[in-house]
Structure 1
């Protein structure tokens, strides 16, 4: 019995050491995304500082407009960091690159995910979620195709009435045809999905303008690529919010988002696996000019190389 308790204690110590060894990296863009990838770091998830004195870590080359907006970075099952981003306001592809260390990047690809849709206006805010069950990556984003979804056609901003689409891939070279991921009859953008035991939790922006919503909501499914139901009530407050990203630490979840009309960042926290939410925006310290991005954990050794 004593040996069993010693083993349990050692496992607990390893987990604590691993948690203390983690540094959180926030990938983001500034201004219009013309100068590429920016990085910030934090040890506690609350105080964030820019890396490299705010320099760009990757200049955009993909797409016609060569922007790098909404960068999403995840660590893949292969150990590489995989990134996708918005290359333009009005193009039919998304950008992709990979890196072993967030410093040295592969050649940038322009993936034409909506090229088969003549009427598609855009591909905004792509993200990646790894499907461990099927050993595939799902890339998903928001696109407007005028007339495709009559519901919400007159309630959005100008000509936009977005729905979420997705493709899957095992190697970021070949992709399945794009399919609708989420359509609940309203204008929706900026989804991010996290696995949570036997379910998948999608955080999304209700983009409805008339009447104004512009808030973050939650939808849940037991399948990664389908089955997300009606959204929850807003988890954000009486301000416009977009670009959610999630830091998940056990039962504690922190959802960061861009208060884009106020030029600041906000966050809400749940300590019961997303059942209830508390606004913690006043506890955040974020770099000036930080815009829509994602959080990924790295080791302290990786961080030291990145910092140096």
Structure 2
């Protein structure tokens, strides 16, 4: 009798596990796979990881470098941001240096073969600009324009939030728009939240645009992630809300809506590991870092979707 009951318990557990797995898979369309672009070390190049549920991430091709950086003087590739453009191609921007006044750009049809890397001098016109960090791209279907945005410190601006810590960096978010990544609008201020801000990631949600950002304030230390919203991609954005991350220091957010819930992945950089928080309403957040599996040594980047066919080709390196 006990033997029979144990078999029944085993079968029930098996059915439960299958149900949980099927539910995770259903969060994505049958033909979709999630990819995560990231870097390692100080900016060695483009790495890619994949996931079918948003929780377990596996490095592609034994964590090889898919693209080595050549743009800029320092030739780094930090914060790689990839989106699928309106033209069906993948467009990537990244940080080329700690202190240069431009960003890197390249495009690809398959994430394997890339165009020649280009240096876009988005802050070269500003003599007091110290850097251009963590550029990202968001497409606006209303205007049919891409917006490229990043964080820059311009020496002398916003003295009220200037700190002697963090080497005196005091960032605000700036942007340009483009239709073709060949010609660009003049650089403009995107977001001035009243504090040192970096690492913005903007995601469309219906008629709204959601900005996940890092409050970089050092004194007193914030170093956490917050949320702002806007009706238009170029703003104006609302006042940043309360922190959505915990007492640890966090940076490099990338947001994804999966199964009706938001997941924001980020870098717990002082702890040398990645993390994630989840919310159903963009207001109440739960840290789900202990539910995640990430490749060893992974640093922050971007989550995006590809088709199963694209993934299989990428995974085979063909």
Report the TM range for the smaller structure's normalisation.
Answer: over 0.9
In the alignment, the residues of structure 1 paired with residue 164 and residue 87 of structure 2 have an alpha-carbon distance, to the nearest angstrom, of 42
Q: Deviations over 1:190-228 (max 9, x none)?
A: 000011111111000000000000000000111110211
Of 276, 281, 300, the match for 1:292 = 300
User: Which residue does 2:139 correspond to in 1?
Assistant: 130
Unaligned runs of 5+ in 2: 1-25
* Deviation readout 1:129-179 (Å, 9 max, x if unpaired): 000000000000000001111221127512200000000000000000110
- 8 Å Cα contact 2:46-2:77 kept in structure 1: yes
Q: Which one of 202, 222, 227 corresponds to residue 231 of structure 2? A: 222
Q: What is the deviation of 1:275? A: 2.9
Within 2, Cα distance between the matches of 1:240 and 1:275?
A: 20
Cα distance change of structure 1 residues 17 and 243 upon mapping to structure 2, 3 Å threshold = closer
Distance 1:253 1:72 in 2: 19
1:1-308 superposed matches below 5 A: 19-33=29-43, 35-154=44-163, 157-272=166-281, 274-308=282-316
C-alpha distance in structure 1 between counterparts of 2:165 and 2:171, whole Å: 9
Q: Normalising to structure 2: TM-score of the pair?
A: 0.90
Closer, same or farther: CA 155–233 of 1 in aligned 2, 3 Å: farther
**Which has the larger share of helix?**
2
Name the SS of the counterpart of 2:182 in structure 1: coil
Change (3 A) 1:126 1:230: same
Higher mean alpha-carbon deviation, 109-118 vs 274-283, is at 274-283
CA contact (8 A) 2:82 2:90 kept: yes
Note the aligned Cα RMSD (angstroms): 1.2
> Bigger radius of gyration, 1 or 2?
2
Are the counterparts in 2 of residues 95 and 110 from structure 1 also a CA contact under 8 Å? yes
Gaps of at least 5 residues in structure 1 are 1-15
Q: Secondary structure at the match of 1:158?
A: helix
Q: Aligned partners of 2:65, 2:124: CA distance in 1, in Å?
A: 29
Per-residue deviation at 1:123? 0.2
